[in-house]
């Protein structure tokens, strides 16, 4: 009688066993945690890149604002720019003041000097970019006469 039972085919099993379900859930959980960690690192990196990009933009805007600054006339100062950006600078003379000369050596109407400028770009009172730039300063000190040509 026992032999007959052993020979009978078992019914096909429908669904998953509890052990198979636990293993599948564990594998899925491990993959989900790895994916979440990867996405978290990417999000952090994206935020850092965006902050750095904004700082570079602000630094370029500050440098563009310095194009209008004559450090001989304005050795230090501040300018408010559109968008809430403020530019501050302090300059010091690094090549002494000298008369301007043309290509042929003739004296020109201005004196010139080279300045090093310490520049800060601020948003809401917080420095977002800081750099050093060298700029020429000038001052008109003579007049040109017709016989100077």
Q: What is the pLDDT of residues 42-78, one digit of tens each?
A: 999 999 999 999 999 999 999 999 999 999 999 999 9
Model pLDDT, residue 113:
96
Model pLDDT, residue 101:
87
Q: How confident is the model at residue 1 (pLDDT cuts 50, 70, 90)?
A: low
pTM of the entire predicted model: 0.68
Model pLDDT, residue 147:
55
Q: Cα–Cα distance between 125 and 72 in angstroms, integer?
A: 26
Residues 6-36: pLDDT tens digits? 566 666 667 778 999 999 999 999 999 999 9
Mean predicted lDDT score pLDDT of the chain: 89
CA distances from 20 to 8, 13, 14, 24 (A): 26, 13, 13, 6
Q: How confident is the model at residue 102 (pLDDT cuts 50, 70, 90)?
A: confident
Model pLDDT, residue 144:
74
Mean pLDDT calculated for residue range 83-93? 96
User: Which segments within 29-82 are labelled E, that is strand?
Assistant: 76-81
pLDDT at 91 over 90: yes
Nearest to 117 by CA among 96, 92, 98: 92
């Amino acid at each position: 009688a026992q032999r007959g039972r052993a020979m009978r085919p078992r019914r096909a099993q429908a669904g998953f066993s509890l052990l198979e379900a636990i293993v599948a859930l564990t594998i899925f959980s491990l993959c989900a945690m790895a994916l979440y960690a990867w996405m978290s690192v990417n999000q952090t990196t994206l935020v850092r890149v965006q902050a750095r990009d904004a700082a570079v933009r602000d630094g370029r805007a500050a440098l563009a604002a310095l194009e209008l600054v004559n450090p001989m006339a304005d050795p230090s100062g501040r300018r408010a720019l559109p968008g809430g950006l403020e530019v501050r600078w302090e300059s010091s003379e690094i090549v002494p003041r000298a008369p301007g000369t043309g290509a042929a050596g003739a004296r020109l109407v201005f004196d010139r000097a080279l300045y090093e400028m310490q520049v800060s770009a601020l948003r809401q009172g917080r420095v977002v970019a800081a750099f050093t730039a060298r700029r020429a300063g000038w001052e008109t000190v003579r007049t040109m006469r017709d016989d100077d040509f």
